[in-house]
Amino acid sequence: MRHWTIPRQLWQQSLEEVGAFGREGREGICLWLARQDSGSNLAFVRSAVLRGPLIRRGPLSIQIDSMLIDRFTDVVDREGLLLAGQIHGHPERFTDLSDVDRAMGFRVPKFLSVVAPYYGTHANTAFRDCGFHEFVAGSDYRRLPEHELALRVTLSETPVAAPLSV
């Protein structure tokens, strides 16, 4: 089973990004990148944020234009990185994936999709407060039960650069 490492600094950057839009009552999103040569155990090394009019953040959905996704993919590829996870905010305590998330989400094997409660506005949000969902190849997203979350997702003190902005 895959194991993920999330630097504390990257987690904090993510909550800042998601919470900034959450305070306006909208879903924010932060993308997580790993090195392209990562093995089955995956360490996120950089976060990325999307800017401009090609991303629209609503109270219950986020729409990203395919042109922005293409541009993002080019930038990430040039950096030798790979999109392998994301975190976005939901209102209140709802940390499951919505039907829209399941339908529109990144359907990449082993992709990690995290949902933060209260739109990510609580800076002290911990892993256990969130919903962690892995994409299972040929299937669908599956939420990690609490005992699995503790075993498979680890916080690290590895420093990370400022978020990549696309």
Residues 30-49 that bind Zn ion (CB under 5 A): none
Residues 129-158 that bind Zn ion (CB under 5 A): none
| Least distance in angstroms from the C-beta of 59 to Zn ion | 11
Total residues at interface with Zn ion (CB under 5 A): 2
Cβ proximity of 33 and 84 under 8 Å: yes
| Least distance in angstroms from the C-beta of 89 to Zn ion | 8
Tokens of 18: 């998601």
* Type of residue numbered 122: H
Binding flag, residue 9, Zn ion (CB under 5 A): no
Residues 84-103 that bind Zn ion (CB under 5 A): 98, 101
Tokens of 59: 């109270």
| Least distance in angstroms from the C-beta of 155 to Zn ion | 23
Helices and strands: H and E segment counts in the chain? 4, 11
Cβ proximity of 158 and 7 under 8 Å: yes
Tokens of 136: 């299972």
Interaction site with Zn ion (CB under 5 A):
98, 101
